[in-house]
Structure 1
Amino acid sequence: MASPGTSESVLKGINESMVVTDISAGNAVVESESLRKKRPFQFWAIFVVLCILSFICALDVAIIATALPTIIDHIGGSNVYIWIANSSTIGSCAPQPLYGQLADVFGRRGPFLAAILLFILGSGVAGGASNAAMLIAGRLVQGIGAGGIYVLLDIVCCDLVSLRERGKYLGLMLSWSGLGAAIGPVIGGAIAGSDWRWIFYIDIPICAVPMAVYIWLFPSRKGLTEYKWAQKLLQLDYSGTFLFIASTVAILIGLVMDGTEYPWSSWRIILPLVPGVVGWDIYAAFFRSFTTSIICQCMIFFIPIYLQGVLANKVVTAGVYFLPFAIATLAFAVLSGILLSKFGAYRPIHAAGFAISAIGFGTLTLLNENMPKVGWVFLQLLAACGPGLVLSIILPAILAALPESDVAAATASFSFIRSFGYVWGVTAASVIFNAFIDRNLSVVRDSTTHSLMANGGAYSLASYTYTIKETLATEYWNQVVELYTIGLNAVWWFGLGVSLLSFLVVFLQRGLELRKELDTEYGLEDTES
C-alpha cells in the first residue's frame, strides 16, 4: 500500500474534488468538496467500463429469449430447453458471495479480470457449440463469469464514491443494464435471423475493450505481494461457502424444473428444494432487495405477454412496445439516486416506490385488447415508477449501518439476493399464471388451441398469437384473449401483494445517516503517480 505521503500527493494530482482528512493509517479518508468540480479522467473511464459491462451482461440475459427457438432448431436440444435457458442463471447465482470474499483477500482487480475472462470464455464456447450439451456448458461458464461481474460492478462503484453519492452512480450504471435488457429481445430476434452464433460471439469484442481499459487504469493494491497468501486464504469461509453454493444450486435445480419438466409433487422437485431451503435459510436475506427483484421480474416477463398474447404482436414489435417501461425504469432509478445524493434519506423513497408499485400493479388489471396505445403506454410508465425508484438505492441503505471494510461482503450478499429474487420472480409468477390458465381452460372451446395452451403452453404460445389470430374465428380468438387476461390478472394481483408487503417492511427499517466520507484502500487514491 502506498505511504501516507505518496497517497496525499497522488490524491492532489488525480482528483481535485476530494480533500484528504485522515491518512494516518495509510488509507486515505476523503470527502466530497463540491459537485461543481469535475472528477478526473481516470474516474470517468473506469465508470464507463462499469457501465459497458453492466450493459453487456444484461444484454446477454435478454438477447437469448427470442433467439432460443432458432438455436434449438439448428443444434437440437428441445428436450433440455429449460436447461439451456437457465444454465447461465445457475452459474451466476451460486458463486456470488465467494467473489465478495475473494475481493477482500486479493483486491478488486484480479477477481474482476478473472470474471470477465470466464464470461468471454463461456461466450466463445456457447457460440461455437455443435450440440445442446456444449451450449449448456458454455452458458454455465458464462454465468459464473457474469455472477462475478455483477458483484464486482457494485463493489468497485462503491469504492469510487461515498455512500451518500452511491445511489446516483448506481442508478446511472443500472440505466445501462436496463438498456441492455430492453433492446436484448429485439437484437436477439434480428441476429437469429442471420447467424445465431453471433449472439454469443458479440460478447467477446465488447468485453475485450473495457477489460484492456480496466487493466490500464484501475489501481492495484501496492504491496499486495507482501501479503501472506496462505494466511489470507485460510480466512475464507470454506464450509459456509460450500453450504451456501450447494444450497443455492439445489434450490435452483428445483425451481428450473418447476413443474415443467416434472410436476411439483414429484420427488425430483421436492428432493433438491427441501434441503436447499433449509441450508439457505441459515443466511439472512435482504428482504427489500429480494422483493424488488420479484416485482421487476413480474413486470419484465409478463407485460410482454400482454403485448404478444392479448394484442397479438410479433416478438420484435412487442420488444419495441416494451421500451416505455424499460426507459422509464431507468429514468426513475437515476432520479431516486439523485434525490438520495441531495437529501440523504432513503426510507421515504423506498416507501413511495413500493406504494406506487402497488398502484401500478393494480392499474395493470385494466389492460385488455381494446385499450388504446396511449393507455397501455401510460400504464407501463406508471408501473415502471415504483421499482425504478427503489432499484438504485437499496444497496446504499444496506451499507449505511456497515463500515467500508464490509462493503465487499455485504455487496456480494446483496447481489446474490437480487439475482435469487429474479429467479423466484419468474418462477412464482409463472406458476400462478399457468395455474390460472389451466383452471380456466374451459373458456377456450377450440380444441386445438385448448391443447396448445394447457400445461404451461400458454406462455410460449404468446409468441405466435399473431398467426393464430389470423386463423381463428373472431369468437374463438376472443376466448383466447379472455384466458390470457385471466392469467395475467392473477400475476398482477400477486405483484400487488408483494408490493404492499414490501411497503409495510419499510417502516421496520432504521433511517441512518449516509456518510459523505470515503474511507477505502481500494479507491483511486492507491494509483501510483
Structure 2
Amino acid sequence: MDSNKKVPDQEAAITVPPQANGGGSNESTNTSIAAPASSPAFQPDWRFWLIYVSLALITFAASVDNTIVFTALPAIARDINAGSQYVWIANSYVIASTAIQPLFGQLSNILGRRNPSLVVVSLFAIGSGIAGGANGVPMLIAGRTIQGIGCGGIFVLLDVVVCDLVPLRERGKYLGPILAAGGLGSTLGPLIGGALTAVTWRWVFYITLPFSGLSLITMAFFMNMRHVRSKSWKQNLVRIDVPGNALLIASITAVLLGLLMGGVTFPWSSWRVILPIVLGFVGWAAFHAYQLSPWCQEPTIPPKLFYNRTSAVGFTLSFLSGVLLEWVVYFLPLYFQALKGASPLVSAVDTLPFNIFLIPTAAIGGIVMTKTGTYRPLHAAAYIFLSIGLGLSSMLDAGSSTAEWAIFQIIIALGLGCTFVTLLPAIQAALSESDVATATAMYSFLRSFGFIWGITIPSLILNALITNGLGTIDDAAVRAQLADGGAYEFAAHGSVQALSPVVRQQVVRLYTKAFRTTWLAALSFALLGFLLVFLEKHVELRTELDTEFGMEAREKGDDQEKNASEMATPFVSS
C-alpha cells in the first residue's frame, strides 16, 4: 500500500497480513481479524521476563528523572550560578524528549528494535553522567538535552518492544505493570531528589546510572529480536525521512519554546512567544503536506494512520488524556496551597488519593480489556468518571472537607487511569502489525505534547481570571504581585496565608472563582473525549502474534521457534 495515497474507503484502508487470516480486514467486518479459536494461549518464557524486567527498570529510572530535578533545581542554580538560565535546565529536557519521539518510531522499523533501544538507553546514561558532572550551565543543559533525547526514545521503544512480544489482546495487561513502574518513579522522584540534594545535587543525576547499566546489559545479551535487515547502512540511511524529521523536530521545538517561555520568561503577548508558536504550527502543517507528497518515500508519520476513524479518534483521546493528566497534576497542589494554606510538601501529601488510585486503575483496565476483548466501554467509562470528577472539583473552596476533595480525586483517578493502557491497543487494533512502531511513536508523542498544553491552558485561564478580578482586592501591593501571571507563584510561596484577614479573604474569594472556571474548562475537554468515543468502532483484539519483530530463535535446533520465525510477516516498505 502506498502510505501517501488516501484510499476511497477510509474504514477499509488498513489490512492485516494475509498470513494472519488469509485476507484483508476493516472495521466494518470485525470478525475478519478475530483470532482463530485454536490460537495458542500466550506463554512468555524466561527471556521475555528478563527483557520485561529490564524495560520496567529503565522506565522507572526515566520517570524518576522526569520529576527528580524539580526539588533539586534551587540548589543546582545556586551552586553553578545559573541565574535566569535555570529554567532551561528543565525546559531543554522537555523539548528534547518530546520533539524526537516520532523519529525513533521510524528508526525502529528501519534498524530493528534492539539497536535503537541500546542507543537510547546509552544516551540516557551518557546524559546523566554529563549532567551530574557539570561545572557550568552550558554543560548541564547539554547533559539534560542528551538525557531528554534518550528518555523520549525510551518511552517510545519500551511500548513498541512490549507490543512486539505480546499479542494485541494481552498488551493492556502487560503494559500496566510497566506503567506502574513509571508512576512509582514519577511519585518518588521529588522525594528522592530532596534526599539526595541534602548530600549533593549531582547524585540526582547519577542515581539513574545503575538502572541504565542493568537494562543495557540485559538488552545486549537477551533482546535478540527479528527484523529484515537491509544489505548495507547506505540503504538504511536512504530510508530515513531526513527532510521530514528535520522539519518536524524544528517545528515542534519552536512550538514548545513558545509555550514554555510564555508567561514565565516573556509575557504571552510578546513577539518572542507568539512568533515561534506561529512558525512552529506553520512548519508542522508543512511537514504533514510533505508526508502526503510523492517526494516522501517512507514517511515518519504515515498519513494512513489517520485515514482510519478508530485510530484517529484514539490519537485524539491520547492527546486529551495527556492534557487532563497534567492539568490535574498541576492544579491540585495549587488548590491546597492557595485555599488551604498547605506548604508544597503538605500539598503533595494531599494529592495522594489521586496518585494512589491512578496506577491500580490502569492495571485493572488492562486486565478487563484482556478478559473482555473490548475497549469502547472502558473509554466511555473513563471519560464519564473524568467528567464527574472534574465537575465536582469545580465546587471545591476553602471550606471543603477532606472527604470531599479526597473522593473527587479518586473519581478523577479512576477516569485517567483507565485511559493509560487501553488507548494504545485500541489504536493498534484498527491498524496492521507493521504499523506498530509508527503508531506507538505517534501515541507517545501526542501524550507528551498534551502534557505541555495541560500546563499552558489552565495557566492562561487562571492568570486571565485573576487579572480581570484584581479590582476586588484593596491592597495595591498584592494586586501588583498577582498581575502579569503572578498568581501561581504567589500561591506556591505561601503568600496568601501571610496576608491580613480582610485582604486574604478577598484573595481567597478571587482564587476560588478562578479555580471553579478552570475546573469547568477541564470538564469541557473530558466531555469532548466522551463524545469522541462514539466515533470509535469495535475491532476484535487479535490474540495471535504475527510480527516480523518477534523474538529470534536462540538455537538452530529449535524447530518450533524457527518455524515461527519463518512465518513472521514479511517486511514491506511503506
Q: So what's the TM-score if we normalise by structure 1?
A: 0.89
In the alignment, the residues of structure 2 paired with residue 176 and residue 495 of structure 1 have an alpha-carbon distance, to the nearest angstrom, of: 27
In the alignment, the residues of structure 2 paired with residue 477 and residue 70 of structure 1 have an alpha-carbon distance, to the nearest angstrom, of: 31
Contact 1:82–1:257 (CA<8 Å) still a contact in 2? no
Q: In the alignment, what sits opposite 1:426? A: 455
Letter paired with 1:244:
L
2:545 aligns to what SS in structure 1?
strand
Q: In the alignment, what sits opposite 1:397? A: 426
Shift in alpha-carbon separation, 1:232–1:276, aligned structure 2, 3 A: same
Contact 1:185–1:319 (CA<8 Å) still a contact in 2? no
In the alignment, the residues of structure 2 paired with residue 323 and residue 178 of structure 1 have an alpha-carbon distance, to the nearest angstrom, of: 12
Which runs of structure 2 are paired with 1:66-81 in the superposition (5 Å)?
Answer: 66-81=71-86
Letter paired with 2:40:
E
Displacement, 1:468? 5.6
Percent of residue pairs bearing the same amino acid type: 44
- 1:213 equivalent to 2:218? Answer yes
Q: In the alignment, what sits opposite 2:266? A: 262
Contact 1:186–1:320 (CA<8 Å) still a contact in 2? no
Aligned residue among 96, 107, 113 for 2:112: 107
Shift in alpha-carbon separation, 1:67–1:368, aligned structure 2, 3 A: farther
- 1:385 equivalent to 2:414? Answer yes
Aligned residue among 478, 484, 508 for 1:481: 508
Aligned residue among 145, 168, 175 for 2:180: 175
In the alignment, the residues of structure 1 paired with residue 484 and residue 73 of structure 2 have an alpha-carbon distance, to the nearest angstrom, of: 20
- 1:246 equivalent to 2:250? Answer yes
Letter paired with 1:210:
S
Residue-by-residue CA offset, 1:443-472 (whole Å, 9 max, x unaligned): 44344443333322222333321x762x43
In the alignment, the residues of structure 1 paired with residue 55 and residue 508 of structure 2 have an alpha-carbon distance, to the nearest angstrom, of: 42
Q: In the alignment, what sits opposite 1:231? A: 235
Residue-by-residue CA offset, 1:466-503 (whole Å, 9 max, x unaligned): x762x433333333333332332232112101111111
Shift in alpha-carbon separation, 1:45–1:168, aligned structure 2, 3 A: same
Letter paired with 2:470:
L
Residue-by-residue CA offset, 1:200-247 (whole Å, 9 max, x unaligned): 1111122211221222221144884x7333223212222221221111
**Matched length:** 500
1:294 aligns to what SS in structure 2?
helix
In the alignment, the residues of structure 1 paired with residue 73 and residue 269 of structure 2 have an alpha-carbon distance, to the nearest angstrom, of: 28
Which runs of structure 2 are paired with 1:63-462 in the superposition (5 Å)?
Answer: 63-221=68-226, 224=229, 227-281=231-285, 283=288, 286-462=315-491
In the alignment, the residues of structure 2 paired with residue 207 and residue 487 of structure 1 have an alpha-carbon distance, to the nearest angstrom, of: 43
2:396 aligns to what SS in structure 1?
coil
In the alignment, the residues of structure 1 paired with residue 325 and residue 240 of structure 2 have an alpha-carbon distance, to the nearest angstrom, of: 33
Displacement, 1:525? 4.4
1:61 aligns to what SS in structure 2?
helix
Contact 2:383–2:415 (CA<8 Å) still a contact in 1? yes
Residue-by-residue CA offset, 1:273-317 (whole Å, 9 max, x unaligned): 122112323546721111110011100111111122222222222
Letter paired with 2:91:
N
Q: In the alignment, what sits opposite 1:58? A: 63
Moved more, 332-341 or 516-525: 516-525
How large is the RMSD of aligned CA atoms in angstroms? 2.4
Letter paired with 1:33:
P
Displacement, 1:173? 1.4
In the alignment, the residues of structure 1 paired with residue 227 and residue 278 of structure 2 have an alpha-carbon distance, to the nearest angstrom, of: 46
In the alignment, the residues of structure 1 paired with residue 507 and residue 553 of structure 2 have an alpha-carbon distance, to the nearest angstrom, of: 62
Contact 2:112–2:227 (CA<8 Å) still a contact in 1? no
Q: In the alignment, what sits opposite 1:17? A: none
Q: In the alignment, what sits opposite 1:16? A: none
Moved more, 232-241 or 328-337: 232-241
Letter paired with 1:491:
T
In the alignment, the residues of structure 1 paired with residue 20 and residue 256 of structure 2 have an alpha-carbon distance, to the nearest angstrom, of: 46
Contact 1:83–1:256 (CA<8 Å) still a contact in 2? no
In the alignment, the residues of structure 2 paired with residue 526 and residue 96 of structure 1 have an alpha-carbon distance, to the nearest angstrom, of: 30
Contact 2:318–2:443 (CA<8 Å) still a contact in 1? yes
Letter paired with 2:47:
Q
In the alignment, the residues of structure 1 paired with residue 512 and residue 190 of structure 2 have an alpha-carbon distance, to the nearest angstrom, of: 23
Q: In the alignment, what sits opposite 1:14? A: none
In the alignment, the residues of structure 1 paired with residue 550 and residue 221 of structure 2 have an alpha-carbon distance, to the nearest angstrom, of: 15
Residue-by-residue CA offset, 1:343-392 (whole Å, 9 max, x unaligned): 11111111111121111110111222222222221111011111111121
2:493 aligns to what SS in structure 1?
helix
In the alignment, the residues of structure 2 paired with residue 187 and residue 493 of structure 1 have an alpha-carbon distance, to the nearest angstrom, of: 34
Contact 1:186–1:316 (CA<8 Å) still a contact in 2? no
Displacement, 1:335? 1.2
Displacement, 1:156? 0.5
Residue-by-residue CA offset, 1:385-429 (whole Å, 9 max, x unaligned): 111111211111111122111111111111111111111111112
> Which sections of structure 1, spanning at least 5 residues, go unmatched?
1-20
In the alignment, the residues of structure 1 paired with residue 337 and residue 239 of structure 2 have an alpha-carbon distance, to the nearest angstrom, of: 52
Displacement, 1:22? 8.2
Q: In the alignment, what sits opposite 2:30? A: none
Displacement, 1:523? 2.1
> Which sections of structure 2, spanning at least 5 residues, go unmatched?
1-18, 23-34, 289-305, 307-311, 559-574
Q: In the alignment, what sits opposite 2:40? A: 33
Shift in alpha-carbon separation, 1:507–1:358, aligned structure 2, 3 A: same
Displacement, 1:138? 1.5
